[in-house]
Copies of this chain bind each other. A is one copy, B any other.
Amino acid sequence: MKKEENFSDWYNEVVEENGLTDKRYPIKGMNVWPPYGWKTMLLIDAIVRREFDSRGHDEVNFPLLIPEDQFEKEKEHIKGFDSQVFWVTKAGDNELDIRLLLRPTSETAMYPLFATWIRSHADLPLRIYQIVNTFRYETKQTRAFIRVREIHFIEGHTCHATFEDAERQINEDIEIMRDIAKGLCLPFRIHTRPDWDKFPGAFYTKAIDTLLPDGRTLQIASIHQYRSNFAVPYGIYFEEEDGTRKPVFQTTFGLSERMLGAVVAVHGDDMGLVMPPPIAPVQAVVVPVPVKGEAGSIGGEAEKVWKRLSAAGVRARLDSRDIRPGNKYYEWERKGVPLRIEVGRREAAEKFVTAVRRDSGEKSRIDGASLEDGVKELLDEISDSLRRRAAEKEKLLEKEAAALADIGPGLNMVWWCGSEECGKGIDEKTGSSILGIPEGKQEGSGRCIVCGKETGTRAAVSRPM
């Protein structure tokens, strides 16, 4: 299957045939995570945990079900999610007095508790996160990892004494995102979403967008400044040192399994998956290449190599199945294992291994004496190379659009007067929409691509996935 010819079919095939997902579960948009896919997701989760934990955020776990009356306190929020919610109305043989909903996100589950946890300025900032399953009744076409109804979701929630401290948290979230994206070997862009596209209830939303090879964008994470929009209806107040009572300022940071979808889409090729070493469940597969009469001794050498790599902390696997090496190569290539380590007669005799890179096909020789370091260096090089290549490809997808007719696949940079009318006009006329204002200083000025008014605001326009 050619990735460039039909990206959408290529994606569906590559995720299902290589064990990342199983879509045969009988509910649309609720997929099974088989071992290979789930291990990859757990490795991504481990990076997320490391980045949150090392900055002093605490992991928690809140209940899945939210009572209807508790959900309805913030009016914008409920409006945004009402049509997407799964309702539990019965338990055993009893109709429930108060209906329960499956969390689409956990603001309304957490905030009544925050109101009991926070008393004074000494309790602030509060910084927690959780990794859970969330639910949205998607009516659009579903797609593995990208648009599903049961979502593997990471949600960070913070409370602060001042707006400025909440803003500092948002900057830290961007740092965290950078470190996570490094592990995924993914470039990303930050766009402040237009007002009509922000998170329901938020003061503003910064989205983390990744460009996909077909020129569409995928939001893989988002960061929200709530100000006190939730704190007031949920009663999250604190006492200042001088005794005054004030509502807290809140932020959230949401990431999901879409990160894995982006990894597949950006790095994969016509042969199949290409897994970045930091999140590859198997970083190196050791394959003995036996010749007649020497299968035993070569198998023994391969096993030694595998054991040494495992002991050194490399996620290595020994493939000693009784099938032809070529079949093994094919299978592991499709699964995107970053390095293949071949051990044959010459290797065994001369004490080296042959390493073959999945990303470039390049072969190299690693001396037996420096096996562990050699493999680790090669894995780092592969990661660097994936990052570089992804960034270069992404650059090619960015272009200037001076008129509506110029807007096409990829990321279109336009001048925009900032009005909702012109913003939505772009969508109506081109099918692409305003992602938002890109992060960073805006320079110069130009004419709004719709109304022609002079403006200092640049916006990014694309077709979202």
Q: List chain A positions with a Cβ less than 8 A from chain B.
A: 22, 24-27, 30-35, 38-39, 41-42, 58-65, 67, 70, 82-93, 100, 102, 109, 112-113, 116, 128, 133, 135, 137, 139, 150, 152
Contacts and interface: CB of A to CB of B under 8 A. Distances in A.
A60 B34 contact: yes
A279 B284 CA distance: 32
A213 to B, nearest CB: 28
A422 to B, nearest CB: 31
Given A22-B113, A88-B88, 4 more contacts: A27-B65, A38-B59, A64-B150, A133-B133
Nearest to A39: B59
A59 B83 contact: no
B26 A112 contact: yes
A89 B92 contact: no
A100 B42 contact: no
Given A133-B64, A150-B63, A90 B83 contact: no
A26 to B, nearest CB: 6
Contacts of A150: 63-65
Contacts of A113: 22, 24-25, 32
10 contacts: A24-B116, A26-B67, A35-B59, A38-B60, A39-B59, A42-B59, A84-B92, A86-B90, A86-B91, A86-B100
A135 B63 CA distance: 11
| Best-surrounded residue of A84, A87, A135, A139 (most CB of chain B within 10 A) | A87
Contacts of A93: 83
Contact of A27 (B67, B82, B83, B84): B67
B91 A87 contact: yes
A139 to B, nearest CB: 8
